[in-house]
Amino acid sequence: MRFLIDAQLPPGLARWLTAEGYPSDHVNDLGIGPATDSRIEAEARRLGAVIWSKDVDFAEHARLKSGLQVVWIRLGNTTNAALRARLAPRLETVTAALAAGETLIEIR
């Protein structure tokens, strides 16, 4: 399972997810940081990646478009350490749900 991390989330999230065993790229590392949602969606499809974003538009895309999976992060601004602490106990459940075909995972 591969992840594409949107611009509103820190590049460190991609590094942490990769260290946890999930190859991940941040849009900035791919040179598409300021891209439109459609460009990011196209890149996710090309990579076969799940999009991680704080953007409600991607949540709507996941509901409406076949084959797109999104992890929608609904947390306010937080430190990288606090974000990882919030995600770590949920990561196995999130990846299992995605593997089972869920298209939208919401994390609060």
Please report, for the chain, the start and end positions of each structural domain, with discontinuous segments joined by +: 2-107
Q: Taking 90 as the threshold, does the pLDDT of residue 39 lie above it?
A: yes
CA distances from 60 to 9, 27, 64 (A): 18, 20, 6
pLDDT in tens, 29-38: 999 988 999 9
pLDDT band at 66 (very low <50, low <70, confident <90, very high): confident
Model confidence, pTM: 0.95
CA distances from 69 to 73, 82, 96, 101 (A): 13, 24, 13, 8
> Can you tell me the mean pLDDT for 51-68?
91
